[in-house]
Structure 1
Amino acid sequence: MDKTFQIKVSKYDGKHSKVVDELAICEYPLNIFVNGRHLTVLLCTPEKLEELTVGFLIFHGIIKSYDEVKSVKIDEKMGRAEVLLNCEDIDTSNYLKQVLPHNFNEQDSTEFFSHIMNSLKIGRIQNENVHVKGEIIYDLMKKSLSYSDAFRNTGGVHCAALCDGYNIVSICEDIARHNAVDKLLGKAFMEGINLKDKILFVSSRVSFEMVFKIARFGVPIVISKSAPTYLSIKFAEALNVTLVGFVRERRMNVYTNPQRII
């Protein structure tokens, strides 16, 4: 299925206008069914749909490993992902709501993060052996952004890449930044890639939910072309995650745990 479609656009430059051909990114609805039960619909870029489905199920706590998946069948024409699990009983309640306290106030962040980490049964990331050089960060960010024709031609997708400190190991893209990360995580689980010694590069801003995603899998460094939110910075701090933002040209901001940037 095509990711982009050609359209006619009237371009204005302040003085003149002309009709030109441009590319628009496809927005594709994917309905996810688990053991015959309709779970959700995701609006996404129509590629790596199996990886997106697996990543979504893992993040929402419906499966804990790829071994629990019996089969995933994608019907692109109908926009369906049919997942069969090895177990019949599944918990389809919202995983994020399960671990977020209902009476959360940002001023009470210490208790908030302790609650989440206890709910997820995760501690602070202890891996201090993962490092990356500043010069390599600039190069890897440039490579991850140049990977995508859709990004260059439309500006309408986000990229997410896993790196080992020197090279890109895996890369995915999607119209939604969280889908791009879910595709990447799903692909890693399907291929048995160890995430605890990898670095996540993203083209989007870093939200609390994105740090929440990677926290479950022990990724020690997150690097973004854009800005992090205040809550994502505080959560990364609590988790001992190194958070880097505004990687542009030869500049960047290191918000937490700068010891991993050498």
Structure 2
Amino acid sequence: MSDPSSKFVIAPSTGGDGLTRSVRGTDHTGAPQDINVVEERPLTIFLNGQEIVTAMTIGDYPEYLALGFLRNQGMLADGESVLGVDFDEELETVVVRTDGATVFEEKLKKKTRTSGCAVGTVFGDMMEGLDQVVLPQTQVKTSWLYSLAAKINQTPSLYLAAGAIHGTVLCQKDRPLVYMEDVGRHNAVDKIAGWMLSENVQAGDKIMYTTGRLTSEMVIKCALMGIPVLASRSGFTAWGVEIAQQVGLTLIGRMRGKRFMCLAGADRLVWDADLAAVADDKGKRRSADG
């Protein structure tokens, strides 16, 4: 069978590229064993001359992460020109340069710690702009959802090589396009947002798939990016569901084998799948929460 990752625009890493290291430990029998563990390193993001945040990340696609973070925090305005994105590997910094002024001192004082892994943060006015969100009523075939879940769960990835990581996949119909991973699911989403901004990719016909929980932060980021559908093998938080219902986002979780639950936006779904042809979940290669 062909490698599913060969059809991705950006496929996940499978190790061997500096994102993991070998560590010797002792297993349950008392025997020594070497295993691969994910690297975690700081990345400081600057917007023009202002330091914005230091994120803990696995270190791949730092330019996309910086662009996406700033975009998802509302620090890059629509139509604002990005003049350059400069990554300094030695200093572990990314500087995003724009043609606009950067004055975010007050905003930076109002941080809200979220339930995301790796101490995800969003700012105090995280709901700003949600009341202006209008998501397209693009139909979503249930056959696409089953196909996407099967392809994504069978794709070689850094998670399968080392664990301790989350994945987020940008999809179009039944095709996974860009597969990003990181220690925090919010970082993986920001990398996708940065890629979309860099490549001028439209969001209205896309589906976002995440291996992690469907939290308020995931829903907010997805909605502000203009993506109308968010799906996961994992479960929901009540606030995430409430926000999805408010903004008209289709929220699908607990995707296992033939089953899933849609708690918001079911009017987009087209029930075309033949469940008799869908394989049962007999222990997929990914766990429910990344």
Quote the residue 1:3 is aligned against: 19
After TM superposition, the score normalised by the length of structure 2 is 0.77
Q: 2:258 aligned with 1:250, yes or no?
A: yes
Checking the alignment, whether the CA contact within 8 Å between 1:122 and 1:216 is kept in structure 2 is no
Quote the residue 1:228 is aligned against: 236
User: Distance in 2 between the 1:34 and 1:86 partners?
Assistant: 11
Q: 2:138 aligned with 1:129, yes or no?
A: yes
Q: 2:166 aligned with 1:158, yes or no?
A: yes
Counterpart of 2:75 (choices 62, 66, 89) is 62
Query: What is the count of residue pairs matched by the alignment?
Result: 241
Q: Give the Å deviation of 1:87.
A: 2.0
Identify unmatched segments of 5+ residues in structure 1.
Answer: 101-115
CA RMSD of aligned residues (A): 2.0
Q: 2:27 aligned with 1:19, yes or no?
A: no
User: Distance in 1 between the 2:33 and 2:124 partners?
Assistant: 49
Which range is displaced more, 30-39 or 83-92?
A: 83-92
Q: 2:224 aligned with 1:216, yes or no?
A: yes
Quote the residue 1:193 is aligned against: 201
Checking the alignment, whether the CA contact within 8 Å between 1:66 and 1:190 is kept in structure 2 is no
What SS does the corresponding residue of 1:29 show, helix, strand or coil?
Answer: strand
Checking the alignment, whether the CA contact within 8 Å between 2:26 and 2:32 is kept in structure 1 is yes
Q: Give the Å deviation of 1:123.
A: 4.0
Residue correspondence of structure 1 range 46-85 to structure 2 within 5 A: 46-65=59-78, 67-85=80-98
User: Distance in 1 between the 2:220 and 2:160 partners?
Assistant: 29
Checking the alignment, whether the CA contact within 8 Å between 2:168 and 2:180 is kept in structure 1 is yes
What SS does the corresponding residue of 2:205 show, helix, strand or coil?
Answer: coil
What SS does the corresponding residue of 1:17 show, helix, strand or coil?
Answer: coil
Q: Give the Å deviation of 1:218.
A: 2.1
Identify unmatched segments of 5+ residues in structure 2.
Answer: 1-16, 111-121, 272-290
Q: 2:90 aligned with 1:90, yes or no?
A: no
What SS does the corresponding residue of 1:99 show, helix, strand or coil?
Answer: coil
User: How has the CA–CA distance of structure 1 residues 191 and 144 changed in structure 2, closer, same or farther, with 3 Å as cutoff?
Assistant: same
What SS does the corresponding residue of 1:70 show, helix, strand or coil?
Answer: strand
Checking the alignment, whether the CA contact within 8 Å between 1:201 and 1:224 is kept in structure 2 is yes
User: How has the CA–CA distance of structure 1 residues 9 and 132 changed in structure 2, closer, same or farther, with 3 Å as cutoff?
Assistant: farther
Q: 2:157 aligned with 1:149, yes or no?
A: yes
